[in-house]
Chains A and B, each alone.
Chain A
Amino acid sequence: MFGVSIDNLLNLDQKYYQMDDYQSDIPRWCPGCGDNGILTATQRLLREEQIAPEKTVFVSGIGCSSRFPHYMNTYGFHSLHGRALPIAEGVKIRRPDLHVFVNMGDGDCFSIGAAHWIHALRYNMNMVAMVHDNNIYGLTKKQASPTTPKGLKSNTTPRGAVLEPLNPLVTTLAVSNVSFVANVVEWIPDLLFDVIKKAFHHKGFSFIRILQRCPHFTPHVFDPIMNEPDRLRLLTHDDGMVIPDAIKKIYKNVETHDPSNIHKAREYASDTETIPIGILFRDESVPTYDDIRKPTKPNTPSVINEALQREFDKFGIKPKND
C-alpha cells in the first residue's frame, strides 16, 4: 500500500481499461430498475477517462441504490443509512488523490442524511454525489420518502402521502458555497452520461439528482413526464452542457441557460410543471474545503514515496562536485 510502488518506477501501467474492468458482482437489482442505467453511465465515465479502479472509491449509505459499490470493481464503502457523505469527506481529506463518488437514495440523502447533505454542499469538497431519486424507500419495501408525491400510497402513508414533496433542487441552490447542481433522468442514457461527466470535471462538490425508475414500488410516478417529453426542459449552453441533436429530435423543449446564473437556476428549479434537465448551476470559483484544509502530513502514496525517497537520499553516496 505504501512505500515504493514498482508500477510508478517502471511506468508499467499502460493498461487500457474496458467496461468489464470496472464491473464486480452481478447487479441484483430488480428487472428494469433504473439503477442499472446509472451504473452503466458511471462505468462509461471511468472507461472514457481511463481512471484506474484502485484510484477510485465509491461510498454509499443503505438502500437499493446504495448497493452500488458492490458492483464497481473499485474501492467501495457500503456504509450506514444516511452517513455516506461524512464518510466520503473523511476519505477525501486523507486521500485527496482518490476520485470519490457518493451514491445515495432519496431516503438516504434527503431524509436521514439531510444534515450531512446541507453541510457537504457548504464544505464543497471535490467529489461527485449522485442521488438515485425513485421517490420511495425501495430497500425497505415502500415507505414514503421526502420526495414521494402527495397522494401516493405507501406502507407509511396507506391513505396517500399527506405532505407536499421536498424539492431537493431548490434546497441545494439555497445553500451557501453550492458549486454544482444538475438534474437528470436515468432513462436518457446519453444525457445521464454527459451530466456525470461534467460533474466529474467540476472541481468541488458536484450534486446530481437523478430521477430513477423503481418498477417495483413506484412504477407510475414518472409516467406523466415520460409520456409527455415536453415536460422535460433540456438546458443547453456552450459553457455548460450542449444537448446533442439526436436528443433534441425527441425532446423538443430545449432552452439556453447559462449555468452561472443562479437566479435563473432557482427559477427553473422551482418550476414543478416542467422539470429542468441538465446543469442548473456551476461556479468554479467557490473554494473547496480540501484546498483550504490541505493536510500537512504526507498522506497519499506518492507523497509518502517522495518523502521516503528524500530520506533515503540522505544515506546515498552522491558524486562529488568539484
Chain B
Amino acid sequence: MTAQKTKGVSPSQKEAEHLLEELEQFAGDAPSSTPKQTPDRDYHLWMEKPAEQDDERQKALYKKHLTFYLGETSAPVPEGLLPAGLAPLAHNPAAHSPFPVLLTGESGTELWTLDHIMRKLLEASSLKDEALEVYKRHLADLERRLLNEYGRVDHFQDFEEVLSSLALQAFKRLTSANGEDHPAVTALEQLSMNVPFKGLLIGYGPETVRHLISRSQAATWRKSVYDTLDRLEELTLSINALVESAQNAERESDASNTAFSDSIDFDKLKEVVQSVPSPSSVDGSRLKRLKKIADSLNTWHDILNSDKHAAVFLEKFTSTDPARAHTEKARREIIGLIRDYHLAVLEEKHRFDAGKHQKLFDDFSELMMSDEEIRLIPPVLLFLDARQAAEHQEALVARMLSGEKIKISIQATSLLDGERLLPLYGWARMATALNRFYVVQTPLPAIRDMWDEIRGALQFEGAAFFSFYTLIDEEENAPVADYIRCGAAAASRVFPLYAFNGQTAKPLSERFFLSPEIQPQSLWAVNSHTVRVGDEHGEQSFTFTPAEFFYLHKGFQTHYFPVSREEEHAALIPLVDFLKDTRLHKEHLPYITMADGNGELYKLLVDEFIVDQCAAIAADWRVMQEWSGIGNSWAAQALARHKAALEEESEAKIREITESYEARLNADREQLTSEIISNLAAGLLSDEMIRLGSGLSAPVAAPPSAAPEKSAPPQEDSAAPESAPEAEAEEEDEGLSFDEAYIDTPLCTSCNECRNINSDMFAYDANKQAYISDVNAGTYRQLVMAAENCPVKIIHPGKPVNPDEPDLEDLIKRAAPFNG
C-alpha cells in the first residue's frame, strides 16, 4: 500500500506517512492499514474434557504434586498464561489504559478519562451521518495518539494546547488537501469555545498522584480564597487607583514646590512646617502604606492567576521537617494577605486611623481572623514514597501521632520487594486505627472511582492519609500491562479500594467505605465468562484471588506448577475451596484456572507459600468487610442477644400458660376423682352391688388413671401402624434424655470455640458461659464439630433433629463419645 518500510525516517517523514495513511482511510478506498490481529477479535475460553484416571495413577500424581506444594520441586510455567477471569478482558482489543486523565472543572474537581473526553468531543461536534463517522475515526486516531504520547508519562500538559495542536492542526492539514475545509474543522474550532476543555492532561507515572492531588487542592484553595476574601479583585483595583491618585497628588505638590522655589523663604517655611503638623507629611506616610498594600495585593493577584499558587501544594518533600518549614512560610504569607486585605478595606473607605489601627495590624495574627479565614491556611501536604516512608519511619509516626492536621500521601511503586510484601498498606491501616485521619486507598488506575473520596479527604477539616499504589514496572516482559496489574491489586484484596472517615460521631460502618468496584460483599471478586467444553457452552465464574494477582509478577511464577490435561486428578480442588476449609488440606491440593493466548483453560497448581499469603490477606479483608458493616459479627451478636431475649419472653409465656393449664387440670382431676369416688361409694352402697358382693378392685383402680383428655384415643389412631407415637410418649415420660443437645454451662471456660462455629446455635448467658440457644440454627455436623473442639468437652450433641442431613451415620458415631 504505502512506503511503510522506508528506513531511517525523520520525524517529519513519519508524520507525513502517518497523514498519508489517514488520508487513505478518509478516502475510504482501502481497509484499515493496521489490521488488528484476528485471534484477538473473538477470543473465547474453552477446554477439553479431562481424562479419566485409575486409582493408582491418581495416587502417583497426588504425590508428585504434593512435593511441589511443599516447595521441594518446581517446573517452569508455560508462557502467555493469564488468570482465566482476566484473560478475556486483557485480550479485548478495545481494552486500553485509562491514562492520560484530564483534571478539569472550575476548582479542579473533575477527573475525566480518555473515553470521557472522546465522548464530550463527539457530542460537541454535533456532526451527523458520514461526517460523524469520519470524525469518529479521527477521534480513534486521536485517542491512540494521546495514549501513546501522554499515556505513560508523568508530566502534564495543558489540554487546550494538546487539543489544538493534535486535533485541530493535524486534522486541518489532513483534510484541507481537497481545497476546502472538512466540516469537522469548524466543529473543532467551535469546540474550545463550547466546551471548557481547560485542564491538565496527566499520564500514568510515579508523579501522577502528586500532581493530581496538589493541583486539585490548589484549585480548590484558590477558589476559597476568592470566596472568602470576596472583594479581593475589586480592592486590588481600587487600591491601585488610590496609589495612582496619591502619587499624582504628590507629584503635583512636588511640581508646585519647584515652580515656586525661587520666591519662597525656606527658612520661614521650615518654621511653619515645624510648628504645624503638616497634612502633606501625613499623606506621605499614607502613600507609603498604600504602596505596600498595593504591592502585596498585586503580587497575590499574580500568584492566584498563574500557576504559582499551586507551588504551595506541589512542593515535594522527602522528610517531614522541610515540609513543616515550607508550610510555616505559606502560613505566614497567607496571614499577610489577610492582613493586607483588611487594611485595604479600611484604606479604601479612608477609615484607617494610624493611632487606632497601626498597632493592631502590626501584631496581626490568627487570633484576629475569622474561622473561614483560618481555613485558608493550607494544611501540610506531604508526599512520600513507600521507601522514604520506611526510612523516616520514626519521624513519620511521631508526626501522625502529633494530632496536627497533616495530609500525608504514601505511594508504593512496587508492592513487592523480592517476595516480601512491602508494608505500604500497613501505614494506611495505622492511620485508620488512629481513628482521626480521613484515609483513602487506591491503586492509581482506579483513582477515578475514589476521586470523590479523595476530594472529601482533602476538604476534611482534620488530618488525611492517602495510600496509593502506582506500579512502575521493574520487570521485563510482565504478562500484562502495568495498569491491569495495578488494578488487579485492588480486585484481589491485596490492596483494597477503601476510604475511612476519621470523624468519630458516626458509627463505624457509615464511616468505612469499600468501593463497589471490587465486589465488597463477597470474599473474592468473581468474573463470569462463557466457556466451551467439547461442544457445549456454559457460563463459568472465575475468582480473582491474591494467587492470580501474584502470578502476574514474573518473580512469583516459581510458586505455580503446570498441570497438563493428562495429569489432572481428583485431589485437585479450586484454591478458593481449599482456603475455605483447612481440613481439606490433608488430602487435597489447590489450583487456579488460567487461560493461554488461544483461550484454552489450564490448571496451575499453587504452593503452600501462596496459600498462606492468601489466607492472611483473606483474614485482613474480612476485618475490612466487618468495618464496612458487611457480615458484621458484632451485629450478629447483638441479634443473638435480641433473639435470646425474645425467646426468654415467649418461654415465660408458655410456662405461664402451661402452669395455669395444669393447675386447672389438677383441679378438674381432683373434682372428678372425688365425684367418681362418691359415685362409687354410692354404687357400692347400692343394693345391686351389695348383692354382687365381689369384683371391687378393678373399677376402683381404673378411674384415676383415666384423666379426662388422655382417655382412650379414637379407634383410628390406635390402629395406626407406626410405633412412633408410642416412642414419643415414652420420651416424655422419661423427662430430659440424652437425645437433646445440651452444654454443661457452669463448666464453660468462655473460649468461644463453639461460637466461632455457629454463633446462632451457641450463645453466652449473662456469665458469658455458653448454652445452646437454638439447635435448629445450624446443622448436626456443626454441633458435633463444636463438641469435638470444645476444650473442656462439655458439649453433648444428642441426636440429630433433622433426619435428612447428609452423612448422619458418620456424625452420630463421632458424637457418641460426647453423649455418654
CB of B750 within 8 A of CB of A39, answer: yes
Answer whether residue B766 sits at the interface, using C-beta atoms and an 8 A cutoff.
Answer: yes
Interface residues of B in 732-761 (CB under 8 A from A): 746-753, 756
Answer whether residue A253 sits at the interface, using C-beta atoms and an 8 A cutoff.
Answer: no
CB of B766 within 8 A of CB of A37, answer: no
CB of A37 within 8 A of CB of B749, answer: yes
Answer whether residue B791 sits at the interface, using C-beta atoms and an 8 A cutoff.
Answer: yes
CB of A189 within 8 A of CB of B753, answer: no
Residues of chain A with a CB closer than 8 A to B747's CB: 187-189
Given A189-B747, A215-B791, A246-B746, are A31 and B753 neighbors across the interface (CB < 8 Å)? yes
| Complex Cα spacing A186 to B756, Å | 21
Nearest 4 A/B pairs, CB to CB: A37-B749, A40-B750, A32-B791, A36-B751
Answer whether residue A231 sits at the interface, using C-beta atoms and an 8 A cutoff.
Answer: no
Residues of chain B with a CB closer than 8 A to A43's CB: 768
Residue in A31, A37, A188, A215 whose CB lies within 8 Å of B756 = A31
- A25-57 CB mask vs B (1 if < 8 Å, else 0) is 001000111101101100110000000000000
Answer whether residue B769 sits at the interface, using C-beta atoms and an 8 A cutoff.
Answer: yes
Interface residues of A in 48-72 (CB under 8 A from B): none
Residues in A lying within 8 Å of B, measured CB to CB? 18-19, 27, 31-34, 36-37, 39-40, 43-44, 186-190, 213, 215, 246
| Complex Cα spacing A218 to B756, Å | 22
CB of A37 within 8 A of CB of B752, answer: no
CB of B767 within 8 A of CB of A19, answer: yes
CB of B766 within 8 A of CB of A189, answer: no
Answer whether residue B789 sits at the interface, using C-beta atoms and an 8 A cutoff.
Answer: yes
Residues in B lying within 8 Å of A, measured CB to CB? 746-753, 756, 766-769, 789, 791-792
| Complex Cα spacing A34 to B750, Å | 9
Give 13 CB contacts A-B under 8 Å.
A31-B751, A32-B753, A32-B791, A33-B751, A36-B750, A36-B751, A37-B749, A37-B750, A40-B750, A40-B769, A187-B791, A187-B792, A246-B746
Residues of chain A with a CB closer than 8 A to B753's CB: 31-32
Since A31-B752, A31-B789, A189-B749 are in contact, a sample of 20 more A-B pairs with Cβ atoms closer than 8 Å, ordered by chain A residue number, is A18-B766, A19-B767, A31-B753, A32-B751, A32-B753, A32-B789, A34-B751, A36-B750, A36-B751, A37-B749, A39-B750, A40-B749, A40-B769, A44-B768, A187-B749, A188-B747, A189-B747, A189-B750, A189-B769, A215-B791
Residue in A36, A44, A213 whose CB lies within 8 Å of B767 = A44
| Complex Cα spacing A19 to B748, Å | 16
| Complex Cα spacing A283 to B749, Å | 30
B701 to chain A, nearest CB (A): 40
B628 to chain A, nearest CB (A): 17
Residues of chain B with a CB closer than 8 A to A36's CB: 749-752
CB-nearest residue of chain A to B751: A36
B753 to chain A, nearest CB (A): 5
Residues of chain A with a CB closer than 8 A to B746's CB: 189-190, 246
CB-nearest residue of chain B to A27: B752
> What is the total of A-B residue contacts with beta carbons within 8 Å?
49
CB of B766 within 8 A of CB of A213, answer: no
| Complex Cα spacing A34 to B789, Å | 14
B80 to chain A, nearest CB (A): 43
A65 to chain B, nearest CB (A): 14
Residues of chain B with a CB closer than 8 A to A32's CB: 751, 753, 789, 791
CB-nearest residue of chain B to A190: B746
A288 to chain B, nearest CB (A): 31
CB of A186 within 8 A of CB of B767, answer: no
B787 to chain A, nearest CB (A): 13
Residues of chain A with a CB closer than 8 A to B791's CB: 32, 187, 213, 215
CB of B749 within 8 A of CB of A186, answer: yes
Which one of B748, B767, B769, B789 has the highest number of Cβ atoms from chain A below 10 Å of its Cβ?
B767
| Complex Cα spacing A44 to B748, Å | 13
| Complex Cα spacing A188 to B792, Å | 9
Residues of chain B with a CB closer than 8 A to A37's CB: 749-751
CB-nearest residue of chain B to A30: B751
| Complex Cα spacing A132 to B575, Å | 40
Which one of A18, A40, A188 has the highest number of Cβ atoms from chain B below 10 Å of its Cβ?
A40
CB-nearest residue of chain A to B637: A20
CB of B767 within 8 A of CB of A40, answer: yes
| Complex Cα spacing A190 to B769, Å | 11
| Complex Cα spacing A18 to B756, Å | 22
Residues of chain A with a CB closer than 8 A to B767's CB: 19, 40, 44
| Complex Cα spacing A36 to B751, Å | 5
CB-nearest residue of chain B to A226: B792
| Complex Cα spacing A36 to B747, Å | 13
CB-nearest residue of chain B to A244: B746
Residues of chain B with a CB closer than 8 A to A40's CB: 749-750, 767-769
A222 to chain B, nearest CB (A): 11
CB-nearest residue of chain B to A36: B751
| Complex Cα spacing A27 to B748, Å | 17
B253 to chain A, nearest CB (A): 65
Residues of chain A with a CB closer than 8 A to B769's CB: 40, 189
Residues of chain B with a CB closer than 8 A to A186's CB: 749
CB-nearest residue of chain A to B792: A187
Residues of chain A with a CB closer than 8 A to B789's CB: 31-32
| Complex Cα spacing A205 to B748, Å | 29
| Complex Cα spacing A35 to B568, Å | 46
| Complex Cα spacing A189 to B749, Å | 6
B769 to chain A, nearest CB (A): 7
Residues of chain A with a CB closer than 8 A to B752's CB: 27, 31, 36
CB-nearest residue of chain B to A192: B749
| Complex Cα spacing A188 to B747, Å | 6
Residues of chain B with a CB closer than 8 A to A39's CB: 750
Residues of chain B with a CB closer than 8 A to A19's CB: 766-768
B475 to chain A, nearest CB (A): 35
| Complex Cα spacing A44 to B764, Å | 13
Which one of B756, B769, B789, B791 has the highest number of Cβ atoms from chain A below 10 Å of its Cβ?
B791
Residues of chain B with a CB closer than 8 A to A18's CB: 766
Residues of chain B with a CB closer than 8 A to A189's CB: 746-750, 769
CB of B749 within 8 A of CB of A34, answer: yes
Residues of chain A with a CB closer than 8 A to B749's CB: 34, 36-37, 40, 186-187, 189
| Complex Cα spacing A43 to B749, Å | 13
Residues of chain B with a CB closer than 8 A to A213's CB: 791
| Complex Cα spacing A179 to B747, Å | 30
B441 to chain A, nearest CB (A): 23
Residues of chain B with a CB closer than 8 A to A187's CB: 747, 749, 791-792
Residues of chain B with a CB closer than 8 A to A215's CB: 791
| Complex Cα spacing A30 to B494, Å | 25
CB-nearest residue of chain A to B791: A32
Residues of chain B with a CB closer than 8 A to A34's CB: 749, 751
| Complex Cα spacing A50 to B588, Å | 53
| Complex Cα spacing A134 to B759, Å | 28
| Complex Cα spacing A246 to B767, Å | 17
A195 to chain B, nearest CB (A): 15
A50 to chain B, nearest CB (A): 14
Residues of chain B with a CB closer than 8 A to A31's CB: 751-753, 756, 789
| Complex Cα spacing A18 to B792, Å | 25
| Complex Cα spacing A30 to B751, Å | 9
| Complex Cα spacing A18 to B748, Å | 19
B430 to chain A, nearest CB (A): 16
Residues of chain B with a CB closer than 8 A to A188's CB: 747
| Complex Cα spacing A215 to B789, Å | 11
| Complex Cα spacing A162 to B752, Å | 36
Residues of chain A with a CB closer than 8 A to B748's CB: 189
A276 to chain B, nearest CB (A): 21
| Complex Cα spacing A32 to B756, Å | 11
B809 to chain A, nearest CB (A): 28
Which one of B751, B767, B791 has the highest number of Cβ atoms from chain A below 10 Å of its Cβ?
B751
| Complex Cα spacing A31 to B752, Å | 7
Which one of B746, B749, B750, B753 has the highest number of Cβ atoms from chain A below 10 Å of its Cβ?
B749
A20 to chain B, nearest CB (A): 9
| Complex Cα spacing A34 to B791, Å | 9
| Complex Cα spacing A246 to B747, Å | 11
